[in-house]
């Protein structure tokens, strides 16, 4: 996962992006302008992270998770990239991988 709130719990604070959080008894309107804008912001951050760390041929982004969690799924070439490269980035968090 990437640090930063996913759409469902983002309460604002980033210039240019309205809050998108909903209460537990509300449904998230994924078609709303503020949700679309903040979702695109998160996906752009995911892409920028990978572009700054790896050459295009070493990974393929499968999906950007934005609504319930802020993260992504990627396929990486094991001979060129290790998960430790991502693990040691300050804006990443991993749960239970034991990669200290």
Give the other-Cβ count within 10 Å of 52's Cβ.
8
- Rounded distance, CA 36 to CA 40, Å? 6
Task: Give yes or no for residue 96 having a pLDDT over 50.
Answer: no
- Better-scored residue on pLDDT, 87 or 47: 47
Which pLDDT value is given to residue 31? 93
- Better-scored residue on pLDDT, 61 or 67: 67
Helices (H), 1-100: 33-53, 83-87
- Cα distances (Å, whole numbers) of residue 24 to 9, 39, 79, 90: 10, 20, 43, 30
Task: Give yes or no for residue 73 having a pLDDT over 90.
Answer: no
Which pLDDT value is given to residue 52? 81
Q: What percent of the chain has pLDDT over 70?
A: 72
């Amino acid at each position: 996962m990437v640090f930063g709130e996913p759409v469902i719990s983002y309460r604002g604070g980033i210039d240019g992006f309205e809050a998108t959080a909903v209460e537990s008894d509300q449904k998230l309107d994924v078609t709303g302008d503020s949700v679309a804008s903040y979702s695109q912001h998160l996906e752009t951050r995911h892409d920028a992270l990978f572009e700054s760390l790896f050459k295009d041929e070493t990974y393929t982004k499968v999906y950007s998770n934005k609504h319930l969690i802020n993260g992504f799924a990627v396929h990486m070439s094991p001979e060129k990239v290790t998960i430790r490269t991502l693990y040691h980035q300050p804006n990443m968090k991993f749960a239970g991988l034991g990669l200290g």
